[in-house]
Structure 1
Amino acid sequence: MNNPFVLKRLLKTSLHLSPSFVEKLEDKTLELIDDFSFQDLVDISSYFVSSARRSFLVLRSVSYQVEEQRSQWEVFQLLRLLNNMRISKFQNYVLCKEVASFCKEHLRECSSRQVAAIVKCFGLLHMPEMELFDAIIEHLSSHMTEFKVSELQTIAFGMSVLNLKPPTQLVKRLVFEFDSLSFFEQMEVCLALAVFNACPAEQMKKLLATKSVDEIMGSSETRHIPLQLKLLQLNTYAKLECPGYKGPFLSEDLARYPKIETTTKSNLHRDVVGRLEAALGNDKYFVSHVELDAGYVIDAMIAVDKDGVPFSKLDYNISSASRDHSPLCKDLPETAVRVAVVVNGPNSYLYGSSEVMGRRQLMVRQLQSLKYVLFR
């Protein structure tokens, strides 16, 4: 047990060991943390992901020890480490910033695949490290032909999360080589460009005319729900914002928010609903957790008349049978104002900023296009 190699082997099999023995392994890891190499530390973070275990003490020690071993750093392994820590819901933002600086320093040595991985990694971390991204954009302009179109799709995804507009050259290549991408890559390209309201009608048409769309939207498999939501959002974009787009659109029987057996509501959501109930005097004046056929969930919806008096939810129709993606009943006055209460939790924002992520901004824009007044 005093041998780091043996300890690593045991940690790798921790999924099949008793919890008490795993705890002892973790204690021993903390004791021997100085004896592990940089690669060992990255591997340890991977074992926590594969075993679905979290030990903040070990992960914190790993992150501190990694900082001490800068001479052994490699870009690909650093990205593995940051992704593992993100999945384990542990992040050392000081280390993340140091990795961003290291990636910038070694950008010229990175392959096109590594550059794409850097953008994706920091996108998922919600960290728009501007010095790094300025260097990446400059690197792209000089080495655009070296990148595969699938790598450019990954870069566009990461930049759309961070709401950083991709270079014009990159967008042109994605549009020009759109047909060479898989259906799922095409969907991500359209979503990324939709964030910037820059997805061409021709690409939207190619995507929504694909047979895979009907197969996914008609599926009842849980694994298809994230794809269904993305297609609903793209369908909404095509209807409301895509210049010159005339169809096809999702058919009315398919353009429905997917049925989800269980929905998890956060403590923040419950707190907001409780405050709404206290403010309005009763929960009958609003509808909570509204699933819109536009592909979004809003935390609560209130309909008010021209004097600002809320209607009772007895006047609502939450069967999603209306044609405008709204659960408001048709017999409400045209002057009724629909207020969407949207809770932006910590994961909605970019790190160290009051700015929400690009995908969240797309939702806000589309809800406003659907004539909602947003309360955030």
Structure 2
Amino acid sequence: MASRLVGRCVRLLSWSSPQAAARLPPAAAGPAEVLRSKGWLWDTQRFLCEKTGIKDEPYPTTPPHTQLDELLDKAAAPEDVLCAWAEHGGSGNQAAAALVRWTQLMLKTRGEFEGHDPEQQMDARLQDMMRSMSRQVSAVWNGNLVNVLRTLWVMKVPSTDAALGSVQTEVLWRLRRLTYKHLGHLVDWGAARRAPRDVALVSAALKQLELRWTEIADAKTVSVLIANGGHMSPTLMDRLEDKALELAESFSAEDIRKVCVSLAAQSRRSVPLLRAVSYHLLQKPSSEFTTPLILDLAFAYGKLNFNHSQVFQRMASELLPRVPELSPLDVMRCAKSLGFLKWLHFPLFEAFAEHYAANSQKYSTLQLCNLLMTFARLGFQPSAGDEFYNKVHVVMEEFLTGLEPFLQTDVVWSLCVLQQAKPHHLTRLIQQNHVDKLSEGSLAQVENYRLKLLHIAATLNLENPGSWDSARSPSIPPVLTSSSSVSDLRSSLREALQSLAGGGAGALRTGVDTMYGWTIDGEMVVDGYNKPVDLSTLKAPHLPGGGGTQNLPEGARR
């Protein structure tokens, strides 16, 4: 080791000053001359920081463009690719590129592959191409390797195929050397695959992305990965949301649509990210506000319960001129999404009502039901109500009784809110057999529908008193308000009412659950001199039990 070190030092000294080597002892100078004569044959003026090699012959980084490559670029039909390969042949990398090109042209000219077609894929030229690629798979470039894996998936090659197996194995070995874009493509293209080797490959790619997430630097990859968020770990999704927040300015309108729909599908309400993409969405030109984009964004915002008035105004103004061109399904989707957000744009909903009036025969019963429930949720009454509701009643008379009990209750309750319910609709729903059908389900659902039944019964009693025989009506249990739900404001209000009543027994009721479904915060009866009267003995038609037996005294007020 010492002699090597001395020899190298002598070489350096002899380069900088030839006389220095002469002054060294013979034992050190001798070997140095031999090394110099062997090592400095080409260039004696090379610096230590320079790479070794001949300057006049640089290492070729890109192979020359061959005639096969030119023919592949010019190919206009799948047969052109096969003929070019049969005539010229090529390396494994060129075979992969040719296979990708052949598949692209097949999809362009014939549409999707209808499964594994032996007659089509047993072509000798195609088989030779796949064998060449499989034999030299280690020489295939990373980009071509990922693309050819997708190509084999698109071709619906069976999982037992040797070429597919070799490509999968090579991709798995190269995962650490693939860029984050290649990994993103693997996750995007392979997320729906169910074969064990494909699932293992996608899982390995996701692990690499989780380790290398800081490398991601473009919005498209982020949007693609978030769109496949159902296959990712919560940790990676959190990091991708941070990346999306960082790159939100460079998102296209389509990227924003993908991100929002994916967040809605996963119920991930990331408010900072939604605010950021909403701000940048407003900067986009009208040409990017396509109808599918508006409908998907309305769904996403509605599902996530995220309100942004400026975005809604922009979407409504862009969609309003296109309403006559929408399908009934699109009208129902958009109206329902905005209804969940409690956001009412009068011109847009007027256009929805006009669309139904003009195309009522194209609407299914379910679509009409959703439209009615949305109008009721928003309290919207069309200006041309007679024309709209005449067509609604024609459909309801024919199909209302055939709806399942919960939907039937929702529709009739909506008609009550819109002041369009007819007595025979209401009496049918307060029959005991219908009430019993609504007692199935979760506690919250049962309480919700019990409240709607009370509202329906109250509408029938108050607006059509002669249509309801209280003696033969079923007993609908009231919806009780739990003490835990009493707010501070209600609690202080009840204390004030107690002090007003003077603390007399029976002079005040608080938290009164009525038979109409409403809860009264406080109830008193005062006589002609405004003095509290005992409530316990007085009749109370609003209570489920009817109260006491005495009528209200003359001059008294409840």
TM-score, length basis structure 2: 0.50
1:113 aligns with 329
User: Where does residue 207 of structure 1 map in the other structure?
Assistant: 429
Whole-angstrom CA distance in 2 between matches of 1:129 and 1:210:
40
Q: Read off the aligned partner of 1:106 and give its amino acid letter.
A: R
Residues 40 and 181 of structure 1: CA distance in aligned 2, closer, same or farther (over 3 Å): farther
Q: Which residue of 2 aligns with 1:351?
A: none
> CA 1:325 to 1:197, structure 2 compared with 1: closer, same or farther past 3 Å?
farther
2:474 paired with 1:251:
yes
1:302 aligns with 2:517: no
Paired position in structure 2 for 1:348: none
Structure with the higher strand share, 1 or 2: 1
Quote the RMSD (CA, aligned, Å).
3.7
Residue 99 in structure 1 maps to residue 321 in structure 2: no
Provide the secondary structure at the position in 1 that maps to 2:310: helix
Does the 8 A contact of 1:174 with 1:189 survive in 2? Answer: no
CA distance in 1 between partners of 2:395 and 2:246 (Å): 50
Of 17, 20, 23, which residue of structure 1 is paired with 2:234? 17
Quick check: 321-330 or 179-188, which moved more? 321-330
Partner of 1:26: 241
- C-alpha change, 1:54 and 1:133, in structure 2 (3 Å) is closer
2:380 partner amino acid: L
SS in structure 2 at match of 1:256: coil
Instruction: Provide the identity percentage.
Output: 20
State the Cα deviation string for residues 240-280 of structure 1 (Å, max 9, x = none).
2236523597522xx11245778534xxx422542553476
Structure 2 contact 278–311 (Cα < 8 Å) conserved: yes
1:77-122 deviation per Cα after TM superposition (whole angstroms, max 9, x unaligned): 4344334334544311111122222221110221011112233333
Confirm or deny: 8 A CA contact 2:335 2:374 kept in the other structure. Answer: yes
Which of 252, 256, 270 is the aligned partner of 2:488? 270
Partner SS for 1:304: coil
C-alpha distance in 2 between matches for 1:232 and 1:65: 46
Aligned equivalents of 1:190 and 1:57: distance in 2? 40
| Aligned residue in 2 for 1:129 | 345
Return 275-284 or 116-125, whichever deviates more.
275-284
Q: How many residues align?
A: 325
Of 543, 547, 555, which residue of structure 2 is paired with 1:325?
543
Q: Is this contact kept in 1: 2:450–2:479, CA < 8 A?
A: yes
User: 1:174–1:292: structure 2 CA closer, same or farther, 3 Å change rule?
Assistant: farther
> 2:302·2:337 contact (CA, 8 Å) conserved in 1?
no
Name the one with the larger helix percent. 2
CA distance in 2, matches of 1:85, 1:29: 17
- Structure 1 residues 197 and 290, CA, compared in 2 at 3 Å: closer, same or farther? same
Give the whole-Å Cα distance in 1 for the aligned partners of 2:482 and 2:490: 23
- Picking from 270, 274, 277, the partner of 1:59 is 274
Q: 1:175 aligns with which of 387, 390, 396?
A: 396
Aligned partner letter, 1:186:
Q
C-alpha deviations, 1:23-64, integer Å up to 9, x for none?
Answer: 543332111113334343234334544555443321111212
SS of the residue 2:478 aligns to: coil
1:238 maps to a residue whose letter is L
Question: How far off is 1:76 after superposition?
Answer: 4.8
The 3-state SS of whatever aligns with 2:519 is: strand
The residue that corresponds to 2:380 in the other structure is: 164
Q: 1:127 and 1:271, CA in 2 relative to 1: closer, same or farther beyond 3 A?
A: same
Aligned amino acid, residue 132 of structure 1: L
Write the distance in 1 (CA, Å) between the matches of 2:246 and 2:455: 50
Q: Which residue of 1 aligns with 2:464?
A: 242
**Closer, same or farther: CA 189–216 of 1 in aligned 2, 3 Å:** closer
Q: Say if 1:216 and 1:135 are closer, same or farther in 2 by CA, change over 3 A.
A: closer
* Structure 1 residues 156 and 94: CA distance shift in structure 2, 3 A: same
Match of residue 68 from structure 1:
283
SS at 1:192's partner residue? Answer: helix
3-state SS, counterpart of residue 324 of structure 1: coil
Structure 1 pair 31/218, CA: closer, same or farther in 2 (3 Å)?
Answer: closer
Give the Cα separation in 2 of the matches to 1:40 and 1:87.
18
Gaps of 5+ in 2: 1-212
Helix, strand or coil for the counterpart of 1:281?
Answer: helix
Structure 2 SS opposite 1:301? strand
Q: Which amino acid aligns with 2:222?
A: L
The 5 A counterparts of 1:279-298 are 281=499, 287-298=509-520
Residues 329-340 of structure 1 mapped to structure 2, 5 A cutoff: 329-330=547-548, 334-335=552-553, 337-338=557-558
Superposition TM-score, scaled by structure 1 size: 0.71
More displaced stretch, 148-157 vs 322-331: 322-331
- Structure 1 pair 35/332, CA: closer, same or farther in 2 (3 Å)? farther
Q: Aligned letter for 1:251?
A: P
SS at match of 2:424: helix
Give the 3-state SS of the residue equivalent to 1:106 in structure 2: helix
8 A contact 2:406–2:438 mirrored in 1: no
Counterpart residue number, 1:227:
449
Structure possessing the higher relative contact order (Cα contacts under 8 Å, 6 or more residues apart)? 1
Q: Summarize the Cα distance change of 1:108–1:218 in structure 2 as closer, same or farther, 3 Å threshold.
A: closer
The DSSP-based 3-state class of the residue aligned with 1:184 is: helix
Tell me how far apart the structure 2 counterparts of residues 208 and 324 of structure 1 sit (CA, whole Å): 17
Unaligned 5+ runs, structure 1 = 339-376
Give the superposition deviation at 1:203.
Answer: 1.9
Code of the residue aligned with 1:305 in structure 2: it is V
Candidates 300, 311, 317, aligned match of 1:84: 300
Do 1:123 and 1:161's aligned partners in 2 also have CA atoms closer than 8 Å? yes
Q: Which amino acid aligns with 2:376?
A: S
